[in-house]
Amino acid sequence: MSQAPEEYRSAEELSGLLVGIHRLIRRRLRTGADGPRLRGAQVELLSLVLDSPGVRVSEAAEELFLAGNSVSTLVNQLVGKGLLRREGDPADGRAVLLHATDEAVERLAVWRVRRAELIGEVAAELPEADQAALVAALPALRAVAAGLRGREPGAVDARAADVPV
């Protein structure tokens, strides 16, 4: 294993906390949400399309680290719910560009506000030193996200692959 046991435990704890926090946020925000419930992957795709209007299905698949057919399925589901629309790509007649509908824009805006309020409320209950530590950790967390994004899918240090799951 490439990490000392204590470093491994810290990395594992960070990973578990991030997953747990993400799950708790989704569960808390489901309560009182309007419209049909969306799965995590659907929200991720909608967020990407909202942030990158006109993204192609293939680009979305690459960005979300999903298979193209999986993204196509998500697109079909979201089009059916009236949250996405497809437009032909003028540069390539075989491709389509994805755009969020007004309903999706409004829904995600409400969701993002509610998420920020939820995290803000919880963070406000922490001691000031912990609040400052969370803010100070943001650049490091962004760097971790960038490092993960830059890795080849499935690339794992051979020594780390021996860790039992």
Say if residues 84 and 50 touch (Cβ distance below 8 Å). no
Helix (H) or strand (E) holding 113: helix 102-124
HEC profile for 130-154? Answer: HHHHHHHHHHHHHHHHHHHHHCCCC
Angle at 11 between CA 8 and CA 14, to 5 degrees: 150
What tokens were used for 149?
């994004």
User: Strand, helix or coil at 152?
Assistant: coil
The per-residue pLDDT for range 17-59, each reduced to its tens digit, is 999 998 999 888 887 777 778 888 999 999 999 999 999 999 9
The per-residue pLDDT for range 45-99, each reduced to its tens digit, is 999 999 999 999 999 999 998 998 999 999 999 999 999 999 998 888 888 999 9
Pairwise CA distance, residues 133 & 162, whole Å: 33
